[in-house]
């Protein structure tokens, strides 16, 4: 069995693949694309037990929005965590044919 903390890479790549398949991906500015990539990595690390990365996610979202100097106000994490975990459960696993 793979190291659970290393599974973040599989989840991150799956999230990034889904994000890049969006209709508007090519229209996004490079900072927004990079922010989305970093957010996907942070989400994957969080759900794989490699620490909690909410501040990073918030910071990258501010960068993408063009408000990097805006004060960071964390969202209510309960529902956000449930949504992320639900999304991760829907991702294909190695060998799954979905």
Is 98 a domain residue? no
With 0.95 as the threshold, say if the pTM is over it: no
Chain mean pLDDT for the chain: 77
Kindly calculate the radius of gyration of the chain based on its CA atoms and give it in whole angstroms: 14
Is 48 a domain residue? yes
Residue span of the structural domain in which 75 resides: 7-90
Q: How far apart are CA 28 and CA 95, in angstroms?
A: 32
Q: Which pLDDT score, from 0 to 100, does residue 76 have?
A: 59
Is 2 a domain residue? no
Is 51 a domain residue? yes
Q: Give Cα 59 to chain centroid, integer Å.
A: 13
pLDDT tens-digit series, residues 31-68: 889 999 999 999 998 888 877 778 888 888 888 887 55
pLDDT surpasses 50 at 98: no
pLDDT surpasses 70 at 21: yes
Least confident of 14-18, 42-46, 89-93: 89-93
Q: How far apart are CA 13 and CA 40, in angstroms?
A: 8
Is 11 a domain residue? yes
Q: Based on the structure, what is the number of domains in the chain?
A: 1
Are 54 and 74 in contact, with CB atoms under 8 Å apart?
yes
Is 78 a domain residue? yes
The residue among 53 and 95 whose pLDDT is bigger is 53
Q: Which pLDDT score, from 0 to 100, does residue 51 have?
A: 76
Is 97 a domain residue? no
Is 69 a domain residue? yes
Q: How far apart are CA 79 and CA 13, in angstroms?
A: 23
């Amino acid at each position: 069995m793979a190291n659970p903390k290393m599974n973040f890479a599989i989840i991150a790549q799956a999230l990034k693949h889904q994000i890049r398949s969006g209709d508007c991906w090519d229209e996004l500015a490079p900072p927004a694309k990079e922010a989305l990539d970093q957010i996907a990595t942070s989400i994957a690390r969080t759900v794989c037990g490699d620490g909690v990365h909410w501040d990073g996610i918030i910071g990258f979202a501010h960068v993408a929005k063009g408000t990097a100097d805006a004060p960071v106000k964390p969202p209510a994490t309960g529902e956000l965590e449930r949504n992320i975990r639900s999304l991760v459960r829907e991702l294909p696993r190695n060998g799954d044919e979905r």
